[in-house]
Structure 1
């Protein structure tokens, strides 16, 4: 019985009219012995089929069809109606197909034997040396060199083609994990190796890597009890408008992503947020947590107070960067309302300047011809700054100041004067403003008196420990603002200034809402603020133990840390010795090093005589003061939830962000992070697209502690993009 008769025989009556005639498949010839009923999926996958001999209906791939017909143990029952003659015919067809497929496979030309690796070496990374026999010379022959060079060139081309076809950001080439993967492949030949596919990457390997990252994070978690942890949280909505709240644990070593919670369908009031924070605190360990940092929203503030009630020795700390940004908004975008009339009268001119700059920027960028003229005259790009970004007005004005000369050259050029294709009134307005010296003087003045606020915001908008610096920075910032305003107005220090009084009132009001007992205790434990050098830097400076406000708030915090009166008395005595430089703290080296030595190092060196106070100091002196790391983490979520990935489930996205964020944390702790071509490989963030227009950079995902980022990342000179020392200077 041949295949034709078999097809026409059994089962023909039971097959519906929708059955198709099987096309001849030379690589899979046994398909002709079954009838395909339905193809599932567009490419590969399973097919619904019916055996032409026994009429059994199955859903499987060709492998199971082959096992059924050839009576193999491939996880499917054998066909009992196949005769020996037909079985022999099918086996012959199967063997011929195998031989044909093997003949058509690409030929693998073996590399000549060599004592060295393929030469795929990247600075900063060691390659694995292959063992060689002692009889072979280590000198590579010209033939071998030519052979290796050809293979390397082909591999380079294959890798480049992957980048170009997939729109992969070029910054990936600086990723050490990209480098190590190819080095491993080059040093460990795996014949016939096929990279992991779509499903394997998003399921099994993803979970394996998450487990691996959790294991690598254990040494960091082991330091939490001694160094303390800050729980940092922020909210966001993904591309499908699902509300998410993320939680990070920040230590001296950097921010660790813990989890993100999908809050869809929940009322995000203070009780709900408090419950989430409580779960995270219990997960991290209440004994390890120093503070909880959130933004200044009313529900977050309420949740923070509830947490302080549940955990008396924990503090809720409002994000100082949010506080500074709100102060800048009050000054640079004053609202014209009845109870804000004085502020509006004094500050509305700043809003007018900011609106002018925004209009000029939009006028140039929103038309291709005008933008082309601009690009011919201006070496830098205009920034499209998100209005929600910290200090957005300052960032925009700073960029315009850099472009002043180029903008003036542009508007007096013949090309600008001859361009009359749209509203000449707007073009005239732009020209008048750009050539107006008084207008530029006002921009200079805004940048001058807001510079201390911007500088403080930059310092705090990092993951670096600065909780112990905030109190002094705020006082110093207000003094510098006064100096800038009085210098511009030509007034003496004792004179009054209505404009300064308005600015001062805004800054003090914001500080009163931000200041906490924890700030005061951390300030009091910084040995630098007791040194003669620091006290002589300003006429109004006093040591923390002589500041009434600081002392009052410090005592509140001491009661939280030491609820037992005996322990508190001992801790207070230790503080008395520390602040008055008595006992062991009166040592000449201890006094001398208070000003110059890092506060934490000072306590490690000289604090043994005050064990209770030393334990608190070593925790507080390494804590952050902002939730910026949590906010920057949303750029990673935005990257994961891009348009190409918006079908991803929240759980899988969370796992990706967990791995993505924490691998970067681990990488930054290695020596290689500051060396070679992979130096600071992750500084560009996630949102830089190979095909994107880097000129219209939306800096909402960038931290203000990276002011030279644009010059570092967006190079056109064809080099490797390595970051020079000058780029790291503040």
Structure 2
């Protein structure tokens, strides 16, 4: 640091030598001096080169710095060695070119004796020299009167063969014509990722290409990056940027309300962590991660944790708190609702739907079909030759598609395999397959039989038709573009009706209705869902007559809980009559047309001005999500911040780092439109599971497995949840007036499942 008698002089942006990052330029007693950042020694002369020697601990021209960090010392040593090598190479190059120029004899003729050129003068790539500040690059010869300018000869350019042993410093050099060898750039990035152990999935980040572009635009002389820079001012500035974005989210909470999400999960070491997030239509923000290993064992301790988070967000902003479902969570949620009478506790709809899919996957006949399908995919994805063959026949398409839910993976994969059925049949009947050794192996013959089996494919089609409505509902619930609150009450009825239309026989479809009801009715009844159905103009104005008492009571429950002021409650009661009768602005032709086109909350914002109190309540209800799903947690070191053997200051820094890390991921979820996907990647193993692992009974040729024989996959792109709008819109559009009438008046056909037969084994669809 500069003393009181010293004035720090800003360092010019034109000074690119890396040593400038480790010293100060100060003015004292009328003289400009350089000062070491570590030992604070002042240098009156010698320029930045002497500072560099000081930091590199080179004895001779400067004293050695006693406090320089090791990584800085090594960087300065490398910089000095590089400068010396560049000077030596330049001198040699100048000498070689000088010898190659014919010298004119007296009289203006060229002396023939001087025209003996070397057989080959390969100037190769002439590097662009970056002069080291404070060090003259002039050759040591004295008395030179004329400076000769040398240029590259007009040679035809051919790319340099890739040298895997090339140093990273070679990347900055340019080829003839100023073109950088891209392979060297890729190799430099690869070496960094491999040596540092960075997950290769990092290149999928929405921020990766902007980083590369920023480095490229800076050009030569950007300088080295400091470990302390990233831990210091860069992290601080990133924290400020993230907080600025999140402040924009927070500014909307008073209008739209927000939902506190308790994303609970278990680590590989058995710890139970809860990541707390806050959802609003503007975006989802990550608050903090809590080690709840002992907290979730007691309803009282879990309640205290939830209470603290609600107070931190602001009781007036919170519409609901969503957690896992269990007796302990339900008890804690009930107590939380008593403490805060202006919010609701609900359980996660995504987890409920996934539990339904898991139960359906356990039906005997369905379980058998999935097992056979895994034999096909496990065999194909375990052998490079067969996988290349399959991709050739499917035009690069994979059997396994990206999916965030392990429970949904079974049925998404079956659906995709059906779409590629003919391609698989062509493959197993091709001469290439018949000539391969795999077609004669036991598992190879089994795969051939399955791919050519009509009953197998018929069963796959039946399973997909049963589960497709649930998959569409799962996408709706997890959509970050369309809040699901206005649709979830009717959506489960729509799912059941679609299954009924598919199976027809009551003894068949009741098997799946019972599975759905056993999960849905136990976990998800909530006044918010019914009130949101009532306030969604798409559904309410399709009901002929009065709604059921269940829905009317739910609306009143929401008014009493979410609007504590009695006078505002009375105003809402009066404004409800205008909504029910479609009076005033609600009855305008454009308002009626917009019922099916605008999102419910947007419709109220546009047309609810005559009923301001009801409009505010409707917007707060219809703007909420139904799922705790945040973003994938892989490669985020949540567990590390719960290590109590850590310096307090470093723990604060690590918490801020993870705060920035996860919030950038949440923002990336809305930025990123495409994501490359490789089914066999270890990054996807938690979801893909045993779909890409061959059965051990058939693994008799593991010695032939070689990933280097694989053709590079076609860039399969994964669209995030908001890109599935087509399927979501199809699902919503399929909700007809009969279903709306049934839901509105609580008249579901065959809803009494208690009197039906016992659950069947589900074999009828085969």
The answer as to whether partners of 1:635 and 1:701 remain within 8 angstroms in 2 is no
Structure 1 unaligned spans of 5+: 1-45, 47-60, 77-96, 113-141, 335-347, 487-495, 536-540, 642-646, 674-679, 703-713
Question: What TM-score do you get using the length of structure 2 for normalisation?
Answer: 0.62
Distance verdict in 2 for CA 1:474–1:161, change over 3 Å: same
**1:294-335 deviations in Å (ceiling 9; x for gaps):** 23344333332222122111112222222122222222314x
The answer as to whether partners of 1:449 and 1:481 remain within 8 angstroms in 2 is yes
**Equivalences for 1:164-183 in 2 at 5 Å?**
164-167=190-193, 177-181=207-211
**Equivalences for 1:139-538 in 2 at 5 Å?**
150=176, 153-154=179-180, 156=182, 159-167=185-193, 177-181=207-211, 192-238=221-267, 240-263=269-292, 268-334=297-363, 348-366=364-382, 371=387, 374=390, 377-378=393-394, 379-383=396-400, 389-413=406-430, 426-464=443-481, 465-486=483-504, 497-512=506-521, 513-531=523-541, 535=542
**1:490-520 deviations in Å (ceiling 9; x for gaps):** xxxxxx5201122222223333231310111
Counterpart-to-counterpart distance in 2, 1:263 and 1:655: 20
Distance verdict in 2 for CA 1:696–1:485, change over 3 Å: farther
| Map of 1:663 onto structure 2 | 664
Distance verdict in 2 for CA 1:640–1:294, change over 3 Å: closer
Find the partner of 1:700 among 683, 687, 690: 687
Counterpart-to-counterpart distance in 1, 2:339 and 2:718: 50
Deviates more, 1:296-305 or 1:513-522: 296-305
The alignment covers a number of residue pairs equal to 555
Q: Match of 1:507, SS?
A: helix
User: Over aligned residues, Cα RMSD in angstroms?
Assistant: 4.7
Counterpart-to-counterpart distance in 2, 1:98 and 1:408: 61
Distance verdict in 2 for CA 1:200–1:507, change over 3 Å: same
| Map of 1:637 onto structure 2 | 636
Counterpart-to-counterpart distance in 2, 1:75 and 1:357: 67
Distance verdict in 2 for CA 1:442–1:169, change over 3 Å: same
* TM-aligned CA deviation for residue 222 of structure 1: 1.5
Distance verdict in 2 for CA 1:70–1:171, change over 3 Å: closer
* TM-aligned CA deviation for residue 470 of structure 1: 0.8
* TM-aligned CA deviation for residue 210 of structure 1: 1.8
Counterpart-to-counterpart distance in 2, 1:367 and 1:722: 28
Counterpart-to-counterpart distance in 2, 1:197 and 1:67: 21
Counterpart-to-counterpart distance in 1, 2:712 and 2:81: 51
Q: Match of 1:633, SS?
A: coil
Question: What TM-score do you get using the length of structure 1 for normalisation?
Answer: 0.64
The answer as to whether partners of 2:174 and 2:181 remain within 8 angstroms in 1 is no
Counterpart-to-counterpart distance in 1, 2:81 and 2:507: 91
Counterpart-to-counterpart distance in 1, 2:557 and 2:187: 63
Structure 2 unaligned spans of 5+: 1-37, 39-51, 68-77, 91-126, 132-152, 158-172, 641-645, 690-710, 728-766
The answer as to whether partners of 1:636 and 1:657 remain within 8 angstroms in 2 is no
Distance verdict in 2 for CA 1:638–1:152, change over 3 Å: farther
* TM-aligned CA deviation for residue 148 of structure 1: 8.5
The answer as to whether partners of 1:281 and 1:289 remain within 8 angstroms in 2 is yes
* TM-aligned CA deviation for residue 467 of structure 1: 0.7
Counterpart-to-counterpart distance in 2, 1:286 and 1:572: 24
The answer as to whether partners of 1:574 and 1:613 remain within 8 angstroms in 2 is yes
Deviates more, 1:251-260 or 1:262-271: 262-271
